[in-house]
A and B are shown apart, each in its own frame.
Chain A
Amino acid sequence: MNREPERLNPIALHRQLAAIWDSGKGLQRLGAVNHTVLGKRFMVTAFVFFAIGGVLAMLIRAQLATPHSAFMDAATYNQIFTMHGTVMMFLFAIPMLEGAAIYFLPKMLGARDLAFPRLTALGYWCYLFGGTIIIVAMLAGVAPDSGWFMYTPLSSRPFSPGVNADVWLLGITFVEISAVCAAIEITVSILKLRAPGMSLDKMPIFGWYMLVTALMMIFGFPPLILASILLEVERAFDFPFFDPTRGGDSLLWAHLFWLFGHPEVYIIFLPAAGAVSMILPVLARNPLMGYRAIIVALIAMAFLSFGIWVHHMFTLGIPHLALAFFSAASALVAIPTGIQIFAWIATLAHGRPRFEIPMLYIFGFLVVFVAGGLTGVMLAMVPFNWQAHDTHFVVAHLHYVLVGGFVFPMLAAAYYWLPQVTGRLPVFKLSIPAFWLIFIGFNMTFFMMHITGLRGMPRRVFTYPADIGWDWLNLLSSVGGFILTMGFALFVIDVVLQLRFGKPFRRNPWGAGTLEWAQPTPPPSYNFASLPTVDRRADTLDAGRMGAELAGGRGYLGFARNGWMETLAVDMTTGRPEHVVLLPNNSMLPLWTSLAIGGFVLSLLFQFYLFSLVPLALVLVLALSWTRTTGQRADRGPIPIGRGEMAPTHYEISGAPSWWGMVFTLFANGTLFASLLFGALFLWAVAPNWPPPSTGEIGLVAPVLVLLAFALAAGTNHLAVAANRRGGSPLLWLALCAAAHLTAVIVLVWCIRNVVPDPTSHAYAAVCFILLAYAALHSSLGAVFAFYGFERFRQGYVSAVRSLDLRIGSLWHDYTAGTGAIAVILVVLMPALVAMGAWQQ
């Protein structure tokens, strides 16, 4: 069994690999997990949402074209602009960048797929269903209408009594969870699934951009997920987190939203900039200059972008000095952006640029984005911000950055990579008139808004009086909007023509030096018939020569074995081959699971709270059944990976992708928990109407019991791992671990019911409730993990060597014990904190 399979000729090798990796026909397509298929689905779906968002934009511009327009009433207008912003940000930009990353990363990094293919599929379905819920709500006339940042109290029950806000909170959270899944998968894939030899300093720059972006998503999205959960709980059960009359604070929403919202715009911009950093050097015929400086700039930018969320809140009454901190950091963040722009200019200046179509769009990107960056620095200055806040000047700024920084680069990317995706080169040149229509139309639409904004026109108003100097500017802007739309229509026609009539080509039409061009085009489902070795920076490779070699099976894993979907994992830093990852095959489970999650979301939306437990239980059962096809029942030892080398499978090593997946999941979860702690302390320090009427008497017995149970759960699992490593049985320890968790859950539920005051009475009680519920939820899942380890051992999937299931469990138990202890201790200390509150003095 451990002999290397014999070498086949390229055609036979292709047939065998395709038989293993292809996604199937007909209804089987619904079970596809392949990253090429799903990446394309993501991008096409995102483009459809872009079209929907664009139609909404046209409606907005139609309404604002003339004063006193009778086209829409105020209520409809509210829905339209809220939906436009929401669709563009959450259903177009984020999924589009995810789709691009899902499609391209394995190809650029030299792997056969991403680390968790079924998770990719789950993410796609969650996105599709979440997006559909929101669009259907709009068609039914109950779209969200509180603006894309959903400020409370406007979005709270008293001021938004309908279901509109719930659609946003539930639907967007559904989509966000999919985004976090994608981010975790992308992070692990970049760190582990690269071509052998591709050390960190040889990675194509897009890999670095996406690594930074994905990590930002892991830390940036949880605050919004938490905020949405809290607001939905407030709307559904009247827990007053954001209600100032009962110790809540609407400022808390603003903080949590923008803690997500500002990083979000960099999350959107960075992948697009990454695409520019890939395209521009090829067309300049000069390797990217300042590769290392760009990497440092990305890191600095990632952090700075988290430190500037309050610049969206300059007018909300924040202490003066804090404004200075955030204003200074906001100005600083322009520097790393500038470094990238200078690197691009240097690359161009030292190269021999070819003025191809993608270059035209990159030119558009540079002009528009730099203009948006400049108005951004203006808005970062507090005095100016106070003048321009909530006017159309801000609308102009945000579109210059978003359209300049995302849409233009994505169009460049489309023209650059469409040949890779379709295997065809364009024959018509509609791309040029399309560019000029988009470029002129865009500037005409949005440049005017700077002026209307400075002349005092507020954003989000459905109409305006005549004769105060806004009329002709708005009319021009609307005309520009329609020119812009015609440009996009031309783009769509051009792409369709390319798909239909484009002429095939052999390989690498741009003469690029990255691995995605060392594949056949369009790419086969398994990407590479054998995996490349990289010995220099992976954007200076000879794609043509490598392509032929790899197709001939002369790289790693150049064979089909046991029907396995194999790819290589490498050491994170050096890129040395480390182990073989056996990927799971096509499966309907992601679809069923996301349907069950969708059922849960819909039952909450229609307020069937008790019934919602049914789909929730279904989600749990389905999630457990994901593991039925993974794992191996015998130790296999190292197996051949080609080139005379051997490596173990991922079940038999310590740092398997799924272990890292859990680590990053817990980072995301930990950020959510940290946001919750922040919320608790924020309300205590800042919210009005404290102290609470009563703080409850939790005593010490119950908390000590819970802490002991947590310690026991984490400890017993470590003993289980140790017993397993020695070849003994972990079953007793795992049973104890589950029992400890269940004890903790029981005591926590008792505390919630008997000690915590009525959670609708005051934010204090609501916060205690949520903290304890968080611990209880994690502990119940801990019991599931322990039970799962128990079963896996019994079924023979776990051995001294194959301990992955138990060690992943360990991460969860340790995390639960740590956060649970913090939650319980905070609840115990809260009454003391209340006693020393500032309002007491």
Chain B
Amino acid sequence: MKQSPVPARRMIWLVLGHVAWAAGFVALYAGLSIGCEYGWHVMELAGGVSVQRAMLIVLFLATLAATSVIAFLSWRRWSAARTKTAAAAPAPFLEWASFISSLTAVAAAIVSLAPSFVLTTCY
């Protein structure tokens, strides 16, 4: 059978950014709970920064990086697809929606997870 010009797997890009956000979200929540259980928040790493805080910041930055990379890649795909004609439907739409969707994932990562930098962690 003929291959589809827009394979179904491209739809995954619609959700990829948010999957990364969700993975980061769960990782941070799990890391935080385990850290509180093990007392990492009272273990100083260096310069007044606790092990807990360092771990949370690393996880946060990793989530931010992952969502941003996905947003960047989908931006590139969209730039390539936007010039195509309507006959290529739904490729231009799909790439645009994927790009915007991954941008919202970056925003969600910043707003929901940035409290890692400041708030007290366990109590």
Residues of chain A having any CB pair with chain B under 8 Å:
191, 199-202, 292-293, 295-296, 299-300, 302-304, 306-307, 319-322, 324-325, 328-329, 332, 571-574, 576, 578, 648, 653-655, 681, 685-686, 838, 841
Neighbour of A574 across the interface among B6, B30, B108, CB < 8 A: B6
Contacts A292-B93, A307-B25; is A320 near B119 (CB within 8 Å)? yes
Told that A295-B97, A321-B120, A841-B38 touch, could you supply 9 new A-B pairs with CB distance under 8 A? A201-B90, A299-B14, A302-B18, A319-B32, A320-B119, A321-B56, A573-B91, A573-B94, A838-B34
Check if B8 is an interface residue, CB within 8 A of chain A: yes
Cβ-defined contact, A328 with B100, below 8 A: no
Is A685 a contact of B34 with CB atoms below 8 Å? yes
> Is the Cβ of A199 less than 8 Å from the Cβ of B90?
yes
The verdict on B116 contacting chain A, using a C-beta distance below 8 Å, is yes
Q: Which 4 A-B pairs have the closest CB atoms?
A: A201-B93, A303-B18, A324-B115, A573-B6
Complex-state Cα separation, A295 to B94, whole angstroms: 10
Query: Within the complex, what minimum Cβ distance (angstroms) separates B78 from chain A?
Result: 12
Q: Are A320 and B121 in contact (CB under 8 A)?
A: yes
Q: What is the bound-complex CA distance between A319 and B115, given in angstroms?
A: 13
Assembled-state Cα–Cα distance A201/B96 (Å): 11
Which chain B residue lies CB-closest to A573? Answer: B6
Say if the beta carbon of B85 comes within 8 Å of chain A: no
B49 to chain A, nearest CB (A): 15
- B32–A572 touching, CB < 8 Å: no
What residues of A have a CB within 8 angstroms of the CB of B96 in the complex? 292
Number of A-B contacts (CB under 8 A): 125
| Chain B residue at minimum C-beta to C-beta distance from A331 | B111
With A573-B4, A653-B1, A685-B37 as contacts: A306 and B94 at CB distance below 8 Å: no
How many chain B residues touch A (Cβ–Cβ < 8 Å)? 48
Q: List 27 A-B contacts (CB under 8 A).
A: A199-B90, A201-B93, A292-B96, A292-B97, A300-B101, A300-B105, A300-B108, A303-B21, A307-B112, A319-B32, A319-B123, A320-B121, A321-B115, A321-B119, A324-B119, A329-B111, A329-B112, A571-B6, A572-B8, A573-B6, A573-B7, A573-B8, A573-B90, A574-B6, A574-B90, A576-B4, A838-B38
Within 31-52 of B, Cβ neighbours of A (below 8 Å) are at: 32-34, 36-39
Contacts of B34 in A (CB 8 A): 685, 838
Known: A321-B121, A321-B122. A304 touches B32 (CB 8 A): no
Across-interface contacts of A306 in B (CB, < 8 A): 22
The smallest beta-carbon distance between B106 and chain A, in angstroms, is 11
Does chain A have a CB within 8 A of B64?
Answer: no
- With A685-B37, A686-B33 in contact, is A299–B15 under 8 Å at CB? yes
* Contact of B120 with A571 in the complex, beta carbons under 8 Å: no
Q: What distance in Å separates the Cβ of B57 from its nearest Cβ neighbour in chain A?
A: 12
B-to-A contact residues, CB < 8 Å: 1, 4-8, 10-11, 14-15, 18-19, 21-22, 25, 28-30, 32-34, 36-39, 56, 89-91, 93-94, 96-97, 100-101, 104-105, 108, 111-113, 115-116, 119-123
Decide: A304 near B121, CB < 8 A? Known: A296-B101, A322-B32, A573-B8.
Answer: no
Question: In the complex the two chains form, what is the Cα distance from A685 to B93 in whole Å?
Answer: 45
Q: Point out the residues of chain B lying under 8 angstroms from A191, CB to CB.
A: 8
Within the complex, the shortest CB–CB distance from A207 to chain B, in Å, comes to 13
Taken together as a complex, chains A and B put the C-alpha atoms of A38 and B14 apart, in Å, by 32
Taking the closest CB of chain A, its distance from the CB of B30, in whole angstroms, is: 8
- Count chain A CB atoms within 10 A of each CB in B30, B33, B120, B123 and give the residue with the most: B33
CB neighbours (8 Å) of B39 from chain A are 838, 841
Q: Are B108 and A299 in contact (CB under 8 A)?
A: no
With A200-B90, A306-B22, A573-B7 as contacts: A321 and B101 at CB distance below 8 Å? no
A307 to B15, CA, bound (A): 14
Q: Does B37 lie within 8 Å of A300, measured CB to CB?
A: no
Please, which residues of chain A bring their CB within 8 A of the CB of B91? 573
Chain A nearest CB, measured from B45 CB (Å): 17
Query: With a CB–CB cut-off of 8 A, which chain A residues contact B36?
Result: 319
- Minimum CB distance partner of B123 in chain A: A320
Known contacts A320-B119, A573-B11; A299 and B101 CB within 8 A of each other: yes
A165 to chain B, nearest CB (A): 28
Instruction: Return chain B residues, CB-CB under 8 Å to A307.
Output: 21-22, 25, 108, 112
Q: Which of A299, A304, A321 has the most CB of B within 10 A?
A: A321
Q: Do A200 and B120 form a contact, CB below 8 Å, given A329-B112, A573-B7? A: no
Residues of A within 8 A of B112 (CB): 307, 325, 328-329, 332
Which single residue of chain A is at the shortest CB-CB distance from B52?
A: A321
Rounded to whole angstroms, the CA-CA distance of A838 and B33 in the bound complex is: 12
Contact B121 A572, beta carbon cutoff 8 Å: no
| Chain A residues near B18 (CB-CB < 8 A) | 299-300, 302-303
Across the two chains, which residue of chain A brings its CB closest to B25? Answer: A307
A661 CB to closest chain B CB (Å) equals 15
Which residues of B have CB within 8 Å of A202? Answer: 89-90
Question: How distant is A571 from chain B, measured CB to nearest CB, in Å?
Answer: 5
- Across the interface, which residues of B come within 8 angstroms of A321, CB to CB? 32, 56, 115-116, 119-122
Q: Shortest distance in angstroms between A339's beta carbon and chain B's nearest beta carbon?
A: 10
Q: Min CB distance, B5 to chain A, in Å?
A: 6
CA distance A686 to B15 in the complex (A): 31
Q: Give A374 Cβ to nearest chain B Cβ, in Å.
A: 19
Report the Cα distance A293→B104, complex, angstroms: 11
